[in-house]
Chains A and B, each alone.
Chain A
């Protein structure tokens, strides 16, 4: 476990907590894509099935349970408790455009043709594109609340730190998980445009709005 990995996990957790706090305190999930949150819940569910079969460490188990809990709570907030505030009109990304290719690819390109491995691979591929409905929603409405941009920033930071973690692990442990690395690079690229807007607008105290 290296410092990039720990900081990456902390950023990931922070992103999820920021999102939950935003919804909780404003009693509203306006501007949040429920579809992205459903995809993230699906990502964690299919990836963490190994909670039942394989013990790695206390840290690993506890974090997985926290991630699952945060993710399902967020989905419940959007489609249950605060569904009146959910902007379903603008959350119009077609999920089948992501789910069909991701499912196909996870059957074609995996480490082992076993149900658990295919589901793990599915979760890795799906995570790399799961934020697209959220980014699509922002580009459609042309703006995002500042707190939503903080959420996206920490999510992107988590991805970037994981890249550093993999470089570190490659040099120190000769560890190289090709599926995770390639998907991780793709996923991080999706955040680049957003990072630019975050630094040039949000950090200077302006609201993120697109021309």
Chain B
């Protein structure tokens, strides 16, 4: 599935 609200990891 697609991570919500963009990608929060660096």
Q: Do residues B8 and A56 form an inter-chain contact, with CB atoms below 8 A? A: yes
Total contacts A-B at CB 8 Å: 30
Interface string of B1-10 (1 = CB under 8 A from A): 1110111111
Q: Which residues of B contact A112 (CB under 8 A)?
A: 2
- Cα–Cα, bound, A165→B6 (Å): 18
Secondary structure call for the A interface? helix
Q: Which residues of B contact A177 (CB under 8 A)?
A: 3, 7, 9
Residue from the set B5, B6, B7 with the largest chain A CB neighbour count within 10 Å: B7
A172 within 8 A of partner (CB):
no
Other-chain residue from A60, A67, A111 in contact with B3 (beta carbon distance below 8 A)? A111
- Cα–Cα, bound, A54→B4 (Å): 12
Q: How far is the CB of B10 from chain A (nearest CB, A)?
A: 6
Q: Which residues of A contact B1 (CB under 8 A)?
A: 176
Q: Do residues A12 and B6 form an inter-chain contact, with CB atoms below 8 A? A: no
Q: Which residues of A contact B8 (CB under 8 A)?
A: 56-57, 60
Q: How far is the CB of A139 from chain B (nearest CB, A)?
A: 29
Q: How far is the CB of B9 from chain A (nearest CB, A)?
A: 7
- Cα–Cα, bound, A112→B1 (Å): 10
Q: Do residues B10 and A120 form an inter-chain contact, with CB atoms below 8 A? A: no
Can you give 6 A-B contacts (C-beta < 8 A)?
Answer: A47-B7, A54-B6, A60-B10, A176-B1, A177-B7, A177-B9
Q: Which 9 A-B pairs have the closest CB atoms?
A: A54-B6, A111-B2, A56-B8, A177-B3, A63-B10, A50-B6, A9-B10, A120-B7, A56-B6
